[in-house]
């Protein structure tokens, strides 16, 4: 899928050579993450922590302007020195140049604070830069303004601390801490700008974006971020659900299967009901099953599997997908399903909970 995306984006003259080079890179699992959010929401802390965890490359305004020797760095610095806003096109070109370097390709990247607006997002997409995960940190404006007032930055490592919530124990680190450049008025101004641009950016990345509350302990924020960025991105390829519910009697298999079928418009198959329908319809298999049903004896597994294979092979089940409950009930039945090429792609197990009350 990643290779197909790259082919569609770059449209190389020699697709075969392009695919060979893509496979040689072996970087489909390298992180491609954007950390977004308003000022003082903790973007730097999250980005630096993720870079350490994944051994990825962190890219931010600060790294692009002061830690990189890129072709457009001096031009961007000139705007900064004149207190002028750096154009979106210049930021996008800087990011593209940095992400095309070998370390970003091999190790992956964490893009901190970009894109800031819709235009930057569109420009990055036009360059073929698509993050697999976008984390959007959020908190109330009053919390963010208070955070900024207590924010301190390590001048050596650029790690962020706080006078109240996260003060470093090392005296040497304490001596290196400096206050951020943003005043309360400047933070308020940036918050207004952020709220103006946020809905458009959210709309662009909504399929790969997760919002996380930044107004909680840093450990909780980091654990939620890590849990999200470690999930595999959803494929846009067609998907036909094939679900199997297992569990003891009374655990709610049939009810859950019916609810799933109703919500997602898949075919609900209950093994017992399927047998009764086959008998009522006087099908060939139904005639073989009828004596067992009339006598109240178990229907042989081979007949049940044949009936299931016939129903699951119908056009309705193949196109809409299905959810099955009531079969298999043991290992032998499961092996027969497997031999018949009936392979669920989701399994759910219901279990009963027994509470013992002691006087």
How much of the chain exceeds pLDDT 90, in percent?
26
Look up the CATH number of the domain holding residue 271. 3.40.50.300
Q: Which of 207, 230, 253 is the last residue of a domain?
A: 230
Per-residue model confidence (pLDDT) at position 92: 92
Per-residue model confidence (pLDDT) at position 227: 92
- Whether 144 and 184 share a structural domain: yes
Q: Which of 230, 250, 279 is the last residue of a domain?
A: 230
For residue 180, pLDDT beyond 80: no
What whole-number distance in Å separates Cα of residue 32 and Cα of residue 129? 9
217 part of a folded domain: yes
What whole-number distance in Å separates Cα of residue 189 and Cα of residue 183? 10
- Whether 201 and 247 share a structural domain: no
What whole-number distance in Å separates Cα of residue 174 and Cα of residue 158? 13
Per-residue model confidence (pLDDT) at position 200: 93
- Residue 25 pLDDT level (bands cut at 50, 70, 90): low
160 part of a folded domain: yes
For residue 245, pLDDT beyond 90: no
Per-residue model confidence (pLDDT) at position 8: 77
- Whether 290 and 183 share a structural domain: no
Closest to 178 (Cα-Cα) out of 168, 191, 165: 168
* Locus of tokens 């697999």: 132
- Whether 104 and 167 share a structural domain: yes
Q: Which domain holds residue 273?
A: 242-349
pLDDT in tens, 299-337: 888 888 888 888 888 888 888 888 888 888 888 888 888
Q: Is this prediction's pTM over 0.85?
A: no
- Residue 234 pLDDT level (bands cut at 50, 70, 90): low
The average pLDDT across 269-294 equals 84
- Whether 52 and 92 share a structural domain: yes
Per-residue model confidence (pLDDT) at position 98: 92
272 part of a folded domain: yes
Tell me how crowded residue 306 is: count the other CB atoms within 10 A of its CB: 17
* Locus of tokens 């043991």: 330
- Whether 297 and 321 share a structural domain: yes
Query: Is there a contact between 271 and 304 (Cβ–Cβ < 8 Å)?
Result: yes
- Kind of pairing between the strands at 109-112 and 32-36: parallel
Q: Which of 230, 259, 275 is the last residue of a domain?
A: 230
- Whether 87 and 199 share a structural domain: yes
- Residue 358 pLDDT level (bands cut at 50, 70, 90): very low
- Whether 76 and 166 share a structural domain: yes
- Whether 255 and 164 share a structural domain: no
CA atoms within a 13 Å half-sphere pointing along the CA-CB vector of 194: 21
235 part of a folded domain: no
Q: How many domains does the chain have?
A: 2
Sheet holding 209-213, edge to edge: 57-59, 109-112, 32-36, 133-138, 209-213
How much of the chain exceeds pLDDT 70, in percent?
92
344 part of a folded domain: yes
- Whether 149 and 178 share a structural domain: yes
Of the two residues 348 and 212, the one the predictor is more confident about is 212
Query: Is there a contact between 69 and 244 (Cβ–Cβ < 8 Å)?
Result: no
10 part of a folded domain: no
For residue 237, pLDDT beyond 80: no
Backbone angles phi, psi at 134, to 5 degrees: -125, 125
- Whether 173 and 209 share a structural domain: yes
- Residue 135 pLDDT level (bands cut at 50, 70, 90): very high
- Whether 148 and 257 share a structural domain: no
* Locus of tokens 């790259």: 6
């Amino acid at each position: 899928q990643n290779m197909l995306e790259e082919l569609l984006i770059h449209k190389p003259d020699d697709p075969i050579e392009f695919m060979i080079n893509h496979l040689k890179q072996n970087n489909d699992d390298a992180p491609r993450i954007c950390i977004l959010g308003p000022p003082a929401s903790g973007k730097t802390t999250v980005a630096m922590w993720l870079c350490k965890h994944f051994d990825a490359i962190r890219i931010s305004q600060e790294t692009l302007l002061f830690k990189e020797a890129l072709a457009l760095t001096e031009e961007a610095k000139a705007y900064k020195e004149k207190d002028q806003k750096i154009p979106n096109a210049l930021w996008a070109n800087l990011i593209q140049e940095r992400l095309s370097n070998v370390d970003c390709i091999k190790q992956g990247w964490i893009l901190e604070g970009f894109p800031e607006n819709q235009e930057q997002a569109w420009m990055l997409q036009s360059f073929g830069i698509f993050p697999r995960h976008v984390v959007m940190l959020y908190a109330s404006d009053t919390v963010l303004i208070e955070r900024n007032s207590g924010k301190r930055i390590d001048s050596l490592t650029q790690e962020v601390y706080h006078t109240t919530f996260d003060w470093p124990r090392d005296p040497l680190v304490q001596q290196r801490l400096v206050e951020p450049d943003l005043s309360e008025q400047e933070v308020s101004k940036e918050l207004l700008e952020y709220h103006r641009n946020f809905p458009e950016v959210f709309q662009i990345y909504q399929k790969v974006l997760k919002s996380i509350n930044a107004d909680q302990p840093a450990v909780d924020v980091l654990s939620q971020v890590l849990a999200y960025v470690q999930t595999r991105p959803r494929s846009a390829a067609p998907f036909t659900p094939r679900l199997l519910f297992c569990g003891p009697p009374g655990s709610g298999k049939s009810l859950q299967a019916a609810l799933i079928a109703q919500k997602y418009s898949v075919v609900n198959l209950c093994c017992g009901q399927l047998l009764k329908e086959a008998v009522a319809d006087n099908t060939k298999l139904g005639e073989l099953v009828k004596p067992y049903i009339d006598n109240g004896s178990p229907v042989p597994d081979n007949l049940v599997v044949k009936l299931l294979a016939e129903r699951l092979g119908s056009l309705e089940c193949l196109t809409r997908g299905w959810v099955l409950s009531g079969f298999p009930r043991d290992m032998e039945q499961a092996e027969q399903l497997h031999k018949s090429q009936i392979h669920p792609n989701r399994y759910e197990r219901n279990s009963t909970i027994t509470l013992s009350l002691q006087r």
